[in-house]
């Protein structure tokens, strides 16, 4: 029993006329009759009582109608699912993101995808630092990475989705808390709270570079595991902390003040990255949403 036989059977069962069923299927009547006879031979039963004046379903034919419809309905659902996957309407997209400043973007992305493409499932994975997210992307363990990197591997494509800049977080009681801008030289005698100097960690690297350019070595009095902890230590007056303008916009602690830096350093813009050879249609739908955010922000 095959799909063509079931289609032929249902056409005859619904029309109860071989001529009309043949017209509906766009075939000649003799081949249709042969298809029905072949199906009857395979099932070992008669499906239609037919004579020169009428065609009627037998009890066996009546029993086959429901299952035959279910098979064709399942086939149509399968075809629709494949088309939806090809169009990017369904699928799984894994996203690894790093840093507090990515949280609002990821939340906005999830809301838009859920609203516009409910068949796409997002698997979100928060990383403490950007380099592990890039490593996961290179190894194929995630589909999209959001973070800040100085080096982008050759097999990876990346675009800026949020321009960013460096600021210094100070306790609100600090003498420099009221400054409009600061130079790194003004912070030479300060104590710093830093993030761990992991490979590819942008902020510890920028602190080292800025201090070196300013002729001093930053006095790191405490290393915090993440940005939230670092800012809590700033609030407690343990030290100042080099961070991002985008982080400042998400912090509501009244005891922490953020002051922009004068110095320019290698950019700290937030990027979206993906594998160049990834052909997953759902991935490209999600990328289009992310890049649309960037275009709207820059337009």
What is the average per-residue pLDDT within 29-41?
Answer: 92
Please report the pLDDT score of residue 173 as a whole number: 95
Q: pLDDT tens, 206-258?
A: 999 999 989 999 999 999 998 899 999 999 999 999 999 888 887 889 999 99
- pLDDT reading at 197 higher than 90: no
Q: Reduced to 3 states, what is the DSSP secondary structure of residue 198?
A: coil
DSSP per residue, 72-140: HHHHHHHHHHHHHHHTTSSEEEEEEEESGGGHHHHHHHHHHHHHH-TTEEEEEEEESSHHHHHHHHHTT
- Alpha-carbon distance of 161 to 297, in angstroms, equals 8
Please enumerate in sequence order all residues whose Cβ is within 8 A of that of 58, keeping only pairs 6 or more positions apart, or say none.
45, 46, 47, 48, 49
Rg (the chain; Cα; Å): 32
Beta strands in the chain (DSSP E): 48-50, 55-57, 91-98, 120-127, 144-147, 156-162, 166-171, 191-194, 219-223, 241-244, 256-260, 270-275
- Alpha-carbon distance of 259 to 47, in angstroms, equals 84
Cross-strand partners of 160: 271
Q: pLDDT tens, 55-96?
A: 999 999 999 999 999 988 888 877 766 776 666 677 889 999
- Alpha-carbon distance of 275 to 243, in angstroms, equals 28
What does pTM read for this prediction? 0.66
- Alpha-carbon distance of 272 to 183, in angstroms, equals 30
- Alpha-carbon distance of 270 to 267, in angstroms, equals 9
- Alpha-carbon distance of 75 to 97, in angstroms, equals 39
Long-range contacts of 106-114 (CB under 8 A, 24+ apart): 106/146, 108/293, 109/286, 109/289, 109/290, 109/293, 112/289, 113/285, 113/286, 113/289
Please report the pLDDT score of residue 72 as a whole number: 86
Which two structure tokens, joined as six digits, stand for 263?
């110095």
Phi-psi region of 139 (alpha: psi -120 to 50; beta: other; left: phi over 0): alpha
93-103 in b/e form (b: 16+ CB < 10 A) is bbbbbbbbbbe
Give the strand pairing for 91-98 and 144-147.
parallel
244, 228, 258, 99: which is closest to 166 by C-alpha? Answer: 244
Q: Quick check: 194 and 220 in contact, CB under 8 A?
A: yes
- Alpha-carbon distance of 125 to 96, in angstroms, equals 5
Please report the pLDDT score of residue 266 as a whole number: 62
Question: Could you give the domains of the chain?
Answer: 3-86 (1.10.10.10), 91-163+269-298 (3.40.190.10), 166-260 (3.40.190.10)
Q: pLDDT tens, 136-192?
A: 999 999 999 999 888 899 999 999 998 888 999 999 999 999 999 999 999 999 999
Give the residue with greater pLDDT, 199 vs 111: 111
- pLDDT reading at 296 higher than 80: no
- pLDDT reading at 289 higher than 80: yes
Q: Which residue has the tokens 């056409």?
A: 11
Angle, CA of 121, 122 and 127, to the nearest 5°: 160
């Amino acid at each position: 029993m095959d799909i063509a036989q079931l289609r032929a059977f249902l056409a005859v069962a619904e029309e109860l006329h071989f001529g009309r069923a043949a017209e509906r299927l766009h075939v000649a009547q003799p081949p249709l009759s042969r298809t029905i006879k072949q199906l009857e031979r395979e099932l070992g039963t008669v499906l239609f009582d037919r004579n020169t004046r009428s065609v009627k379903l037998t009890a066996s034919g009546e029993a086959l109608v429901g299952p035959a419809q279910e098979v064709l309905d399942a086939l149509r659902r399968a075809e629709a699912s494949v088309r939806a996957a090809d169009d990017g309407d369904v699928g799984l997209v894994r996203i690894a993101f790093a840093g507090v400043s990515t949280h609002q973007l990821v939340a906005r992305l999830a809301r838009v995808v859920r609203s516009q493409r409910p068949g796409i499932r997002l698997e979100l994975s928060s990383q403490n630092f950007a380099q592990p997210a890039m490593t996961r992307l290179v190894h194929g363990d995630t589909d999209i990475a959001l973070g800040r990197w100085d080096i982008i591997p050759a097999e990876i494509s990346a675009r800026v989705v949020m321009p960013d800049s460096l600021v210094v977080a100070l306790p609100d009681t600090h003498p420099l808390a009221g400054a409009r801008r600061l130079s790194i030289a003004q912070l030479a005698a300060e104590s710093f709270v830093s993030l761990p100097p992991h490979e590819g960690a942008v902020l510890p690297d920028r602190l080292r570079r800025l201090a070196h350019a300013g002729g001093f070595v930053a006095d790191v009095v405490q290393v915090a595991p993440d940005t939230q902890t670092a800012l809590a230590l700033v609030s407690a007056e343990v030290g100042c902390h080099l961070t991002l303008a985008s982080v400042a916009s998400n912090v509501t602690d009244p005891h922490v003040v953020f002051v922009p830096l004068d110095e320019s350093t290698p950019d700290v813009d937030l990027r979206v990255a993906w594998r160049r050879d990834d052909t997953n249609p759902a991935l490209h739908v999600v990328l289009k949403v992310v890049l649309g955010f960037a275009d709207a922000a820059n337009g």
